Amino acid sequence: MLGRRWLIILCIYPGLPQMGAGRDWAGLVHAIAFTGLFNAALITTFIFPEIASPVAVAFVWYLVGVAWLWAAVTAGWWIWKHHPEQHRAEIEVWFREAVEHSLKGQWAEAIDRIQRILQHDGGDCDALMQLGTLYVHTGRPAEAKHAFRRCLELEPGKKWCWEIDQAIQRLGQD
């Protein structure tokens, strides 16, 4: 996940901050919708101005402006309120608690703490590795494989490549 400063810069174009924050589908939907609206405005203004009245063209440009402003404000609000950096201290506490519960064999409590972390930072590879390991200990191999594979999909997860491959081999192939 990108830092807050980079995400604020990405607010220039709707959808980019969400993609940079790991919310790929939400960002893709925003980007496609805005691009379609922006392209309609460009086409009706410069390429085929005869297909729409000047009032309609002005209305489409108004919609482009409102859509851009709405996307920038909502992305900025999310970055300000919900970016994982806002919750870093809580995430660290939850991770320590998860490890403590795991060492005591309290699997449900450990899984709960890790899931809290992933609600705030879905791209936390260490939490995904821990979750996969907890699922192995609780006899949930399909969920463990899913967590391990999610970790591998993320760039920071590459450091766990060998461990994940070994774990998946122990769990058996699909």
Predicted local confidence at residue 1, as pLDDT: 57
Q: Render pLDDT for 5-62 as a digit per residue (tens, 0 to 9).
A: 777 787 889 988 888 776 778 889 989 999 999 999 999 999 999 999 999 999 999 9
Give me the residue label for tokens 């970055």: 79
Residue 135 · residue 167 · CB < 8 Å: no
State the average pLDDT for the chain: 89
DSSP secondary structure letters along 78-116: HHHHH-GGGGHHHHHHHHHHHHHHHHTT-HHHHHHHHHH
Name the residue ranges covered by the structural domains of the chain.
4-82, 86-171
pTM: 0.62
CATH ID of 86-171, from 3.40.720.10, 3.40.50.300, 1.25.40.10, 3.40.50.20: 1.25.40.10
Of the pLDDT bands very low, low, confident and very high (cuts 50, 70, 90), residue 138 is: very high
